[in-house]
Amino acid sequence: MPEHLFKEHAGHSELHAHSGLAVWEDASLMPEWASFFGVKVLETTASATLAVDVAETLKLSYLRTVNAVPLYVEKTLVLLGSTPAVLEYAANSSFILGEDVTPMFASLSLVEELLNKTLTAQHKEDESILTDLHNEVSDDFDTNIAVNELLVDTSEAPFIKAVNSILAQAVQADASDIHIEPYRDELRIRFRLDGVLYDRLSFPRAVHAPLVSRVKIMASLDIAEKRMPQDGRIALVLGGREVDLRVSTLPTAFGERVVLRLLEKSSEMLSLEQIGFVEHEVTALRRFASSANGIVLMTGPTGSGKTTTLYALLREMNSSNRNILTIEDPVEYQLNGVGQTQVDLKKGLTFANGLRTLLRQDPDVILIGEIRDKETAEIAVQAAMTGHLVLSTLHTNDAPGAVTRLLDMGVEPYLLSSVLRGVISQRLVRRLCPECGGMEPVASEEARELGLAEHSSVGKACGCAACSSTGYKGRCAIGEIMQVDPQVQTQILACADAALLRKSAEAGGMCSLQQSGAEKALAGVTTPEEILRVSRI
């Protein structure tokens, strides 16, 4: 049916063009349109099953383009769409398949959800290539095919399909990192899930070179250079999800080791509460964010969620009467209304150089991705002294350690004591699986180390299919928040060590990482074992 015939009907103009197709503008009118065209509306998938075999015949790329999905609804083959154009698509499908295909309407969100599930199911069927890839080792594989949407990539080369499948598995499992590790007799693939590495796949050693070459080409790296480390980036789409991968290669005794860090661009930024901070912690963080000037620091190891927390603060501070600028390496989140600059060492744009320029842009708030050297630290202090609020990260084990690190860098104690407003040390702990998590009495040894009362009830990890038998699913933050009060300022002026700073901060109300974690263990959010795993120094 020509599209122009159903753009307006009965005085309504409830359909509009979108990506070349007409989509429902008001889902409440769908029953009215369904009645007019004599087509049923699918409101629940309880009686529906995915028609993966039909989707393969109709071509996955075509279904993605027209935004339609085949289903079996009570043994009837149905083509589900969100527009009246599905009538024409169903007629075409009947001709291709040689059997009746019934058109049916559904909301755009439901169609996209089912289409992504179909694409994923079909992709999993193709993953058998990973189990017998050693039979396909060849030197004539094609490495020039760009990957745009992994689930509809039609490449036949075995190593292209293998890399696509590995990346797809990692994204679908919500992995944060992929490790490609060559050893004497095997190639091992590991995923980092919720902060813990798990073995995922193992291949013969001969697979290593072509697999790594494919990754390097996707990341625009030099495949001929195997003796020097390289860094690159891959942007891809998986089932409509935009993912950015940072790629790092490292020469080892048995070949290049590759680590890919995944960042989902389309993921929604979390609030402080969603990150895992409790009420009194959120209050302290918001007090820091409301400062007119000064420095607020986030500390913790790589992958502890420091940038996520800083951006949660930025989002709350973001308003039309504030000029917020950032300099990062790389820019991990895009925040509307914030000017973001990425460090480019090859062109001489360092944190220090970029920060000098930012100060000439009339900022109110500045986010520095990381304070790495004395020069950056001194400029950050100068910015805070001249009326700016500076947010940044620092790699130290705890909050008091941030002060001693800056003093070691050469920042004058009298300057640091006057500009530092607070330090947050953060870790991420795994949450108990909501399907199988439970409670149990805490063991005496754990109670003693975490300061819990004997026989307190704490979270217990069990393990089920939903969490891959780990007992955990997802992560949340624990943190110690050090407010720089007059007592702490006095210790900074005296160049006190971290131990004395900690005593002063705890006297002022700071809770340690273990105390913050103990609250979550008692609340059944996580387990004492998990708290001790991430908080022991």
Name the band, by pLDDT with cuts 50, 70 and 90, for residue 112: confident
Q: What is the pLDDT of residue 154?
A: 47
Comparison of pLDDT for 54 and 252, the residue scoring more: 252
Q: What is the pLDDT of residues 36-57, one digit of tens each?
A: 788 888 877 777 888 888 887 8
Q: At 104, give phi and psi (nearest 5°).
A: -150, 145
Higher pLDDT, 398 or 49: 398
Q: How confident is the model at residue 511 (pLDDT cuts 50, 70, 90)?
A: very high
Residue 149 is predicted with a pLDDT of 54
**Residue 219: is its pLDDT beyond 70?**
yes
What pLDDT score was predicted for residue 36?
78
Average pLDDT over every residue of 267-277: 84
Flag the least confident range among 111-125, 405-419, 442-456: 111-125
**Confidence grade of residue 267 (pLDDT, cut at 50, 70, 90):** low
Average pLDDT over residues 146-155: 49
The whole-angstrom separation of Cα 346 and Cα 201 is 36
Contact in structure between 518 and 479 (CB atoms under 8 Å): no
**SS3 (DSSP) at 297:** strand
Mean of pLDDT values over 280-309? 92
Helix residue spans in 424-508 (DSSP H): 444-450, 486-493, 498-507
**Residue 225: is its pLDDT beyond 70?**
yes
Can you tell me the distance from the alpha carbon of 392 to that of 128, in angstroms, rounded to the nearest whole number? 45
The pLDDT of residue 183 is 93
Question: Which pTM was predicted?
Answer: 0.68
Cα gap 136→157, rounded to integer Å: 9
Q: What percentage of the chain reaches a pLDDT higher than 90?
A: 38
- Measured on CA atoms in the order 501, 505, 510, 511, is the torsion positive or negative? positive
Spatial CB neighbours of 397, under 8 Å, sequence gap ≥ 6:
299, 301, 425, 537
pLDDT-based confidence at residue 240 (cuts at 50, 70, 90): low
**pLDDT band with cut points at 50, 70 and 90 for residue 537:** low
Positive or negative: CA dihedral 209, 212, 214, 217: negative
- Is pLDDT at 180 greater than 50 in this prediction? yes
Q: Do the beta carbons of residue 477 and residue 438 sit within 8 Å?
A: no
Confidence of residue 3 (pLDDT cuts 50, 70, 90): very low
Q: Quickly state the pLDDT bin for 327 (edges 50, 70, 90).
A: very high
Over residues 435-450, the mean pLDDT reads 81
Indicate the average pLDDT of the chain: 83
Query: Which stretch, 204-208, 306-310, 464-468, has highest mean pLDDT?
Result: 306-310
pLDDT of residue 12: 36
Phi then psi for residue 306, to 5 deg, are -60, -50
Has residue 357 got a pLDDT over 60?
yes
- For residue 4 the two structure tokens come to 């122009």
Write down the pLDDT at residue 22.
Answer: 41
Residue 525 or residue 237, greater confidence: 525
Question: How far is C-alpha 522 from the geometric centre of its chain's CA atoms?
Answer: 28
**Contact yes or no for 467/473 (Cβ under 8 A):** yes
Question: Quick one: DSSP state of residue 344?
Answer: B
* pLDDT at residue 5, as a whole number: 36
Confidence of residue 14 (pLDDT cuts 50, 70, 90): very low
